[in-house]
Amino acid sequence: MKDGDNGSMFWNLEGFPGSAVQARRRIAFTILAMVLAAGCSGPAPPPVQPDGPLTVEEWKAMTDMTAKYDPGTFDRLKKGNPKLENEKEWDKFFQTVVAPAHQVDVPKKTYAY
């Protein structure tokens, strides 16, 4: 290392077109853009679910499969339909409505070998 050298070859920008200040700004802007782009690519937060009762029609119309088959959603579905609060009726509803809907909404994965 030479006397008066700050030890950084990175900031020695004599070969860049324009001034060294402009080159540093371009580098800083590029790094900032990459950081911002990486920060914006995360998954979106799940939608907030209301806590009120849920009708069968509303349940069937749900498009978020994680929320649709969540145990909390089933509790809301039971609250919206007093008939389903009976364990026997719930089991029958689950077998005739929920299970077939799950097979359509979330088909089994098939793997090609």
Q: What pLDDT is attached to residue 90?
A: 93
Distances (CA, A) of 38 to 5, 25, 29, 33, 42: 34, 20, 14, 9, 8
Q: Which residues of the chain fall short of a pLDDT of 70? A: 1-18, 35-36, 38-49, 110-113
Q: What pLDDT is attached to residue 22?
A: 76
Q: What pLDDT is attached to residue 70?
A: 92
* pLDDT digit string, tens, across residues 62-80: 988 889 999 999 999 999 8
CA atoms within 13 A on the CB side of 71: 0
Q: What pLDDT is attached to residue 5?
A: 54
43: left (phi over 0), alpha (psi -120 to 50) or beta: beta
